[in-house]
Structure 1
Amino acid sequence: MDTSSIPTPPNYGDRDVTPSKATVDRIELPEFAPAAEPEGGFSLDRFLDREMSWLDFNARVLELAEDPDLFLLERVNFLSIFASNLDEFFMVRVAGLKRRIVADIAVPSAAGLNPTDQLESILNRAHELQVRHAAAFAELVRPALAKENISIVRWDQLEEADRERLHAWFRRQVFPILTPLAVDPAHPFPYISGLSLNLAVLVQNPLTGKQLFARVKVPDALPRLVSVDGPRAGHSSASPARFVTLEDLIGEHLDLLFPGMDVVEHHTFRVTRNEDLEVEEDDAENLLQALEKELLRRRFGPPVRLEIADDISDSVRKLLVRELGVEDDEVFSLPSPLDLRGLGAISSIDRPSLHYPKHLAKTSRFLNESETSKAANVFAAVRRRDILLHHPYDSFSTSVQAFLEQAASDPKVQAIKQTLYRTSGDSPIVDALIDAAEAGKQVLALVEIKARFDEQANISWARKLEQAGVHVVYGIVGLKTHSKLSLVVRREGDTLRRYVHIGTGNYHPRTARYYEDLGLLTCDPQVGEDVSKLFNQLSGYAPKTTFKRLLVAPRSLRSGLIDLIEREIQNVRAGLAGRVVIKVNSMVDEAIVDALYRASQAGVKVDVIVRGICSLRPGVPGLSENIRVRSILGRFLEHSRVFAFANGGDSTVYIGSADMMHRNLDRRVEALVSLSDDEEKSDVVALLNRYLDPATSSWHLDAEGQWTRHHRGSDGELLEDIQESLLRARERQRSTGSHRA
């Protein structure tokens, strides 16, 4: 019997998740903002609603699960990702909107929707998507799995020998954990924890005929899908892999939990609660302690969604609705099994023919030049030239991780400064910082303990670092530190040289295998000076710091990008070609969008590559006919943020941590760095053009806010998968020695 824990399905976003071969990450979810005033004569309907746009994003994930051309177990994984994404959307976005409506502080959205209408639209669309999601599993993926000898079976489909084996396992591993909770005058309705799966059980006393309600929680610590055939089942096409859901197994043994009672009926249900954090930093003497208290409070947030099995009786449904205090439109009736996040047990089956081909990231050629040892000397390589890294095509472990590990062990290194937003549970980055501190180096770690849903892990890391002698700071009050920065100060002769890494992704070795990100390794003196100033601003008092190669939020990033957009407008008016290409996870900020509208009206060609939310309306006559919006989802999570400007033929290119959202530009410390090497700038622009190529598979956004997938050409053949193409190209580059994108 396979009793190993089922892997947690990946989510959209930069947090520690179980690595997967196909990951598209959740989008991050900021606070609501008031609608922007019209600017420059623009109409009020120039923005798409950001909540509906997020739901459209998750619909694109669902399209991948529905796609018969994709590898089957990757489609299973996309079903799991969709479910996990939607959970977080309700926990944060829907919960936040409800909270504001109740407090009478909600304002119309930037798209002009009043809060009540917006909530109604969200719930209607979410209902539609959840029904479609369930159908995709039941009607498309499940039959395809059956053809591959992979199935979720019911108890009554099992042979007697299988039942006996599962019965014995239940008594040993499950029964001792279960706690039935009765509901009667002496036992009030129990607290139902958020995202837990539960059985609503109706039992009857055979002596009195009285019916009573009880709740049984499906234990989170046990595998959601229990293997019938053993741990190696399904690893070949001839070997069947059958699973039974844990809730089905519990349901068949309810007589053991309620001896002397007759089980009349049982049904599954699940509650989603408000799990967003509210910490008033200015009033907190100690942010760690305040956050720990708030994490405890999070467990008891009000319900925002109730999912119930569609075979539930009307009486039990009414009881749950009444006791949980949810509205009718917050009840989602769905076919079993509920909570398809648990499909990770199936998507992780080792059947290579049903997965994307394995990919092993290689060391950047520039880190191997002139090196005969197994491990390249990162400092020597960076002194030769700036090194632009593209993960996961370039290895994280032999570049960024090696940079910090070598810094920790190098006796010439005097100091290391590092931002940590999210990292893994067994982080070699944290280990390197601890090793450096124990070796007597000056080490500063800026740990963002308010990284959503990673707060507890980051608190643990902060304390571990402090115990090792690392100087741990938590940034600036009122701002999250989201910038991705490493600074190493090394004595070389009579001088100190600063080595810097600036990236678009977290210092997270696991997610670096399937998040697409860019990073710059450089010892350029100006970049080193800028990053030193930024760290001093974060750890000390330097509110008037200025930078030359960096754009830094919240002070200068938005205005700096708008200035660069305005420069393109002036170039067009001067008779030069104007072009802007922006690749981000989200495009929401009204000031940036309005600047792009002005650029379009002036004749600047604008392309936006956005993975998730986009409030910009492209292709509107007189407003945005020169703007195109594309979205790419796939095997890797497109996570890099890139900003490219034609600049009259001398292109300007920035990479960094910021998305175009209010929270990034106003409430976070973000950093973008300009590239100075002409070859690197050319490579990045060429890469962006490949994303935008009509021959590349992508989704296109129209003026009405509709996304349309373009993945087949006029001849019916599949268009190019940019990620697979880059993998193949990188392999060819390794064999020929070329490194151009």
Structure 2
Amino acid sequence: MNRPLLHGAAPTTGSDSAAPRYFNRELSWLAFNERVLAEACNRDYPLLERLRFLSISGSNLDEFLMIRVAGLVGQIRRGIDVRSIDGKSAAQQMVAIRERVARLDKAQQAILADLRVELAREGVVITEAAALDREARARLRSYFREELSRVLTPQAIDPAHPFPFVANLGIGVLFDLVRKADEASLVEMVLVPHGLPRFVRVPGSDNTFVPIEGVIAHFAGLLFPGFRIVGKGHFRVLRDSDIELQEEAEDLVRYYRNAIQRRRRGRVILLELDAAFDRAAEAVLRDNLELSDALVTRTGGLLGVGGLAAVVDRVERPDLKFEPFVPRYPERVAEYDGDCFAAIRAKDFVVQHPYESFEVVVDFLRQAARDPAVVSIKQTLYRAGNQSPVIAALIEAAEAGKSVTAVVELRARFDEEQNLHWAAQLERANIQVIYGFVDWKTHAKASIVVRREDDGFRTYCHFGTGNYHPVTARIYTDLSFFTADPRMGRDAARLFNFITGYIEPPRTEALAIAPLDLRERLFDLIDGEIDNAAAGKPAAIWAKLNSLTNKDLIDRLYAAGQAGVAIDLVIRGNCCLRPGVPGLSERITVRSIIGRFLEHSRIWAFGNGYAMPGARAKVFLSSADGMSRNLERRVEVLVPLTNRTVHDQVLEQVLLANLLDNQRTWLLRADGSYDRIEPRAGDLPFNVHTYFMNNPSLSGRGTASDDAAVPTLRLRGARR
């Protein structure tokens, strides 16, 4: 039986007069993770996909603790009094966070217990060694003795031995031993070596798994001959994993290489213990891990539920997973025999991943690498993945004699090491590698190809809302926009000159660039809707973002709503704007979509004095979220969509479908709670992900599929 979850951010209260206007960012993020966790209870999904959602919730929570909580702990330790958007000190936030994290952990363990029962009925067993039958236990014992024990290193804990270092995300088992010969006591630690599987498949079984720390604990007698085991317990450690750039850093590459090493040894943020962990043994860990500011939790189930993704990946049971989905290749490019440049030259088009293949982005760069008419390629790289065809295409282009410039962002969190590797590979291929600004991350997703043609040089551009990452492109919903518009080409060149040479453009013709003028451009567009409302014209704003936490942007949206602008927001993650408050935000609605794919695209649309959705609306895609870091401390782009077909696809397909979804949508209430939307009486169920999996796009279709009409989407009822 599925246990209920606690949904939504707790209402913010306090003496600060600003507090009622905003939700706390950290609690809002935890509410988002509770929505992710709720999908593990969703019986619309196959069992292993529900287990995957549970693992995502666990991994999300780990990152939250390693980054966000670590930052708050650092503020408390250094006595920094920086208030959150809702007026809370770091210490006040930590009180609420501790309580919410404990609730979330308890819910995760309860859901795991239910899923274990359901999975076992299907022959997928996640259990402990002691629960195995005698034959299976004997096979596991043989595996431990012959293989696993050879890579384990017991370490004594006494004054003669330094306390072993426990790495970030490290899991270990602590043993209280008594030597049989003389009854002397000894404490030993066994750390799980990096690179071993998180779960051991029981030899001779198809799909029976035991957590590796449980295997070590159960068969520890083979590690400690001559000793009695009088106590044992599992533990896991999370460390501060944020990398804080020092202003005096002169060599970014050297700095980040050193910082990655420091991350692995950061201050402990969380010590997670199993429920039966011995109190005396806990004191040993507390004394040696310097836990004065850390959270210490006792878990009644599995340590580190994020590791369950390994079980999902290793089990070959297609009937317990989503039916495989094969992305469509854009028909428009196929119509031109795969010639990306000819297709773009004929007409702008936009591709929506993962419904349409990321391969078209790779083909765009591969063709540029092999085309003798191509003179130069410039490319931003924020995240590219472990095995990147984008990197391979850039190297191929350089080897073919093209001028290639790659802007590699070293500060892509948890991808710094991978990006250092790619930078070295690119430099070895004689590619000009630029690391961008010291103070700002380069988060814009842009690629430009300059080609020599009969009428002169022509610039082909790709702008994206997601990373140049082939793996995430299969599960993140993102937009790829291709254009040969000369204005876009000139602005893209200005963007790259700004990044590589710090040459601030005096003006742009189409793009807005953060941190130069993107925020101001958004504010002007919002103000335009306020003016429309004042003039008695239709006034509306639609936006789709991952996060909305910037106070100034929220206040501008509040002002617009108060002026009579109807505002519909789809904010997947944390949202500090409080919707539906009389006199403040009753004309603002906030939705969050959680489902098979991760909603990641960033889109803005403004009615421009006409009813939405409409042909005269102003529509933009962007790399930026509604966060201070995106608007003030990152290089981002805001791209206007003026081609009619592209405009209509993004507004009347993508955005409208998100607003119509009644299967995967949660609605944010004024008190901070989230309620799952259900179809109203007379409404048909509408799943935004299913819709796009089954219907081709507008702009990427080409004429060959004109007879395969895309169903028309319409708003239900009158808009406000």
Q: Within 1, Cα distance between the matches of 2:500 and 2:128? A: 58
Counterpart of 2:695 in 1: which secondary structure? Answer: helix
Task: Note the C-alpha offset of 1:86.
Answer: 0.6
Say whether the 8 Å CA contact 1:697–1:719 is kept in structure 2: no
2:244 aligned to which of 270, 273, 278? 278
Paired letter, 1:388: V
Range moving further from structure 2, 248-257 or 110-119 = 248-257
Instruction: Give the C-alpha shift of residue 318 in structure 1.
Output: 2.7
Alpha-carbon separation, structure 2, partners of 1:391 and 1:299? 34
Deviations 1:619-674 (A, max 9, x none): 01011000000000111110000000011232111102000111111111001110
Q: Kindly provide the amino acid, as one letter, of the partner of residue 87 in structure 1.
A: D
Range that drifts further, 282-291 or 583-592: 282-291
> How does the TM-score come out when normalised to structure 2?
0.92
CA distance in structure 1 between the aligned counterparts of 2:607 and 2:392, rounded to whole angstroms: 42
Match of 2:381 among 420, 430, 433: 420
Alignment correspondent of 2:630: 664
Question: Which residue among 81, 94, 101 is the counterpart of 1:126?
Answer: 101
The residue type paired with residue 352 of structure 1 is: P
1:384 is matched with which residue?
A: 346
Partner of 1:729: 695
Preserved contact between residue 541 and residue 606 of structure 2 (Cα < 8 Å): yes
Q: CA deviation at 1:694?
A: 6.3
Q: Distance in 1 between matches of 2:680 and 2:107?
A: 26
Paired residue for 1:84?
A: 59
The number of aligned residues is 687
Question: 2:235, 2:271 within 8 Å by CA — same for their partners in 1?
Answer: yes
Q: Is the 8 A contact 2:662 2:677 kept in 1?
A: no
- Residue 393 of structure 2 is matched in structure 1 by 432
Deviation of the 1:706 alpha carbon = 1.0
Aligned to 2:673: 706
Q: 1:740 to 1:468 in 2, by over 3 A?
A: farther
Give 1:356-371 correspondences, 5 Å limit. 356-369=322-335, 371=336
- Map of 2:142 onto structure 1: 168
Per the alignment, residue 489 of structure 1 pairs with 450
From 323, 338, 341, the counterpart of 2:306: 341
**Helix, strand or coil for the counterpart of 2:477?**
strand
| 2:161 paired with 1:193 | no
Say which SS state the counterpart of residue 669 (structure 1) adopts: strand
Structure 2 unaligned spans of 5+ = 1-15, 611-615, 713-720
Given candidates 284, 303, 320, the residue that maps to 1:319 is: 284
Q: What amino acid sits opposite 2:385 in the alignment? A: S
CA distance 1:118–1:200, change in 2 (3 Å): same
In structure 1, the residue matched to 2:154 is: 180
Partner AA of 2:258 in structure 1: K
Q: Which residue of 2 aligns with 1:332?
A: 297
Question: Contact 1:365/1:739 (CA < 8 Å) preserved in 2?
Answer: no
**Per-residue deviation, 1:166:** 2.4
**Counterpart secondary structure, 1:426:** coil
Between stretches 316-325 and 407-416, larger displacement belongs to 316-325
Which residue in the other structure is 2:27 paired with?
52
Partner amino acid, structure 1, of 2:573: G
Amino acid at match of 2:461: V
Q: Give the CA deviation at 1:463.
A: 0.7
Q: Does 1:105 align with 2:70?
A: no
SS of residue in 2 equivalent to 1:78: helix
Task: Report SS of the residue matched to 1:142.
Answer: helix
Alignment RMSD:
2.1
In 1: Cα distance, 2:233 partner to 2:275 partner: 9
Preserved contact between residue 130 and residue 218 of structure 2 (Cα < 8 Å): no
1:679 matched to which residue of 2? 645
Superposed, 1:620-631 pairs within 5 Å as 620-631=581-592
Does structure 1 residue 247 correspond to structure 2 residue 220?
no
SS at match of 1:262: strand
Q: Taking structure 1 as reference, are residues 262 and 712 closer, same or farther at Cα in structure 2, changes over 3 Å only?
A: farther
Q: CA 1:694 to 1:406, structure 2 compared with 1: closer, same or farther past 3 Å?
A: closer
- Are residues 1:135 and 2:102 paired? no
Residue 476 of structure 2 aligns with which residue? 515
Bigger drift between 564-573 and 172-181 goes to 172-181
Amino acid at match of 1:697: R
Does 2:420 correspond to 1:459? yes
Q: Do the aligned partners of 1:697 and 1:712 also contact (CA within 8 Å) in 2?
A: no
Distance 1:634 1:230 in 2: 35
| Amino acid in structure 1 at the alignment position of 2:178 | Q
Judge conservation of contact 2:18–2:86 (CA < 8 Å) in 1: no
CA offsets per residue over residues 6-59 of structure 1, 9 Å max, x none? xxxxxxxxxxxxxxxxxxxxxxxxxxxxxxxx9xxx944211000000000000
Structure 1 residues 56-75: aligned runs within 5 Å? 56-75=31-50
Task: Answer whether contact 1:97 1:106 (CA < 8 A) is retained.
Answer: no
> Structure 2 CA distance, aligned partners of 1:153 and 1:294?
38
Instruction: Tell me the distance in 2 between the aligned counterparts of 1:704 and 1:739.
Output: 39
User: How far did 1:735 drift?
Assistant: 9.0
Query: Which of the residues 584, 587, 609 maps onto 2:570?
Result: 609
Higher mean displacement: 646-655 or 376-385:
646-655
Give the distance between the partners of 1:541 and 1:159, measured in 2 at CA: 67
For 1:35, the equivalent position in structure 2 comes to none
- CA distance 1:122–1:210, shift in 2 (3 Å): same
Distance 1:457 1:100 in 2: 29
In the alignment, residue 704 of structure 1 is paired with which amino acid?
D
User: Matches of residues 567-582 of structure 1 in structure 2 within 5 Å?
Assistant: 567-582=528-543
SS of match in other structure, 2:75: helix
Whichever residue aligns with residue 51 of structure 1, its letter is E
* 3-state secondary structure, aligned to 1:576: coil
- Give the CA deviation at 1:346: 2.6
| Alpha-carbon distance in structure 2 between the residues aligned to 1:612 and 1:508 | 21
State yes or no: 1:566 paired with 2:531.
no
Residue 208 of structure 1, aligned match among 182, 193, 197? 182
Where does 1:436-447 land on structure 2 (aligned, <5 Å)? 436-447=397-408
> Gapped runs of 5+ residues in structure 1?
1-37, 234-240
8 Å Cα contact 2:661/2:687 also seen in 1: no
Provide the rounded CA distance (Å) in 2 between the counterparts of 1:663 and 1:618.
23
Asked whether the equivalents of residues 153 and 243 of structure 1 are also in contact (C-alpha less than 8 Å), the reply is yes
Deviates more, 1:416-425 or 1:305-314: 305-314
1:720 offset after TM fit, Å? Answer: 2.5
Q: Is the 8 A contact 1:645 1:653 kept in 2?
A: yes
> Which of residues 195, 199, 203 in structure 2 aligns to 1:225?
199
Tell me what 1:654 maps to: 620
Contact preservation (8 Å) 1:227, 1:243: yes
Q: Residue deviations 1:262-286, cap 9 Å, x none? A: 1112111011110110222x42231
CA distance in 2, matches of 1:673, 1:328: 44
Q: Shift of the alpha carbon at 1:192? A: 1.5
2 CA distance for matches of 1:438 and 1:69?
Answer: 50
Query: Letter of the aligned partner of 2:569 in structure 1?
Result: V
Equivalent-residue separation in structure 2 for 1:465 and 1:545 (angstroms): 31
Alpha-carbon contact 1:44-1:112 (below 8 Å) kept:
yes
Q: Distance in 2 between matches of 1:740 and 1:496?
A: 40
Q: Whole-Å Cα distance in 2 between the matches of residues 98 and 536 of structure 1?
A: 39
Q: Which of 299, 302, 309 in structure 1 is aligned with 2:274?
A: 309
Name the structure 1 match of 2:129. Answer: 155
Identify if the C-alpha distance between structure 1 residues 740 and 682 changes in structure 2 by more than 3 Å, giving closer, same or farther. Answer: farther
Note closer, same or farther for the CA distance 1:53–1:207 as it changes in structure 2 (3 Å cut): same
Structure 2 counterpart of 1:689, which letter? L
Match of 2:513 in 1: 552
